[in-house]
Amino acid sequence: MIRKAVLPVAGFGTRCLPASKAIPKEMITIVDKPVIQYVVEEAVAAGIKEIVLVTHSAKAAIENHFDKHFELETQLEAKGKTELLEELRNIIPDDVTIISVRQPEPLGLGHAVLCAKPVVGDEPFVVMLPDVLVDADGCTFAHQVPNDLGGMINAFDRTRHAQIMVENVPREVAYKYGIVALEGDAPAPGESAMITGMVEKPKPGEEPSTLAVIGRYLLPGEIFALLEQTAPGAGGEIQLTDAIDQLRAQGGVDAYRMVGDTYDCGFQLGYLEATLSFAKRHPKFGKEFKEILAKYTD
């Protein structure tokens, strides 16, 4: 069983400035919850029990969000605000643990994942980039899984291959993404296929497929030894994709094609699109939000 998820949250979020100057980009809200809470909920729904935050001294707000706030809860209880009190107490289930480790300097995604080694050990785990939302609303999944992360875990259980979540993108924008090369045909949504490599931002017309890597990885514990041996690349950063390429040569890596939708909340338009999507179906605000939205529809 995959029990641990690593969330690299130490970055400064420069694409979100000035909003991320004083608060972590992961704490910017989508309707009524910070974006990182949606990512943690995705992990919990897939059966994850330990969330490992690879963080930085300036990101204490993230840890505080998932911690108990005794004084606030006491005040809400005294005022009889039981619904809000229960919402705060249920941000994470009681059987889920949040663990923080520090990334002392920004040396790339691979280095951030390596910082989690003392907590993860040698067991398989997932890596979830916290500025990407993966939305399973209205989707039907095979293998009786709750969401795409659960589908990726199921694929690992069946094949024992590392998994990289991908989505199909229009060919004319493939140059913006990391694109996987496949051994065979593209898998159907909810299924996976072995990859032969990854090309970061290929030149237009030279993309090996239209399946783009979107920020969810399932990796065996062996990835840590490979990361320790990975030489720094551009900017002195240790690239996770370099270690994954070594892993592919040793034991195989599959591309899991997602069923749901993604929202890149690493920049402003991604936040806006996610807000529109989630607000329209929000159980409390959805109806009134759609009425407001209608006022601004051309």
Q: Write out pLDDT tens, residues 142-181.
A: 888 999 999 999 999 999 999 999 999 999 999 989 999 9
Task: Report, in angstroms and rounded to the nearest whole number, the Rg of the chain calculated over CA atoms.
Answer: 20
Mean pLDDT of 137-143: 87
Residue 235, pLDDT > 80, answer no
- Our count of domains for the chain comes to 1
pLDDT level of residue 14 (50, 70, 90 thresholds): confident
Residue with the two structure tokens 């970061």: 200
pLDDT of residue 153: 97
Q: What is the CATH number of the domain that holds 115?
A: 3.90.550.10
Q: What does the alpha-carbon distance between residue 94 and residue 116 come to, in Å, rounded to a whole number?
A: 22
3-state secondary structure of 27: helix
pLDDT level of residue 85 (50, 70, 90 thresholds): very high
Mean pLDDT of 196-215: 91
Residue 255 β-bridge partners: 164, 193
pLDDT of residue 216: 97
What are the residue ranges of helices labelled H in the chain?
Answer: 35-45, 60-66, 70-78, 82-89, 109-115, 117-120, 148-159, 223-229, 240-251, 268-280, 286-295
CA of 249: how far to CAs of 23, 182, 239, 243, in Å?
40, 14, 16, 10
Phi-psi domain of 47 (left: phi exceeds 0; alpha: psi -120 through 50; beta: other)? left
User: Which of 19-23, 125-129, 198-202 is the least confident region?
Assistant: 19-23
pLDDT of residue 13: 75
Task: Identify the domain containing residue 270 by its residue range.
Answer: 4-295
pLDDT of residue 185: 87
Residue 127, pLDDT > 90, answer yes
Q: What is the pLDDT of residues 37-77, one digit of tens each?
A: 999 999 999 999 999 999 998 889 999 999 989 999 999 99
3-state secondary structure of 278: helix
Q: What is the pLDDT of residues 208-225, one digit of tens each?
A: 999 999 999 999 999 999
Residue 17, pLDDT > 90, answer no
Single-letter amino acid code for the residue at 168: N
Residue 10, pLDDT > 80, answer yes
The two beta strands, 125-128 and 211-219, are: antiparallel
Residue 12, pLDDT > 80, answer no
Percent residues over pLDDT 90 in the chain: 74
Residue 233, pLDDT > 90, answer no
Residue 298, pLDDT > 80, answer no
pLDDT of residue 42: 97
pLDDT of residue 1: 82
Q: Are 9 and 114 in contact (CB under 8 A)?
A: no
Q: What angle, rounded to 10 degrees, do the helices at 286-295 and 268-280 form?
A: 120
Single-letter amino acid code for the residue at 163: Q
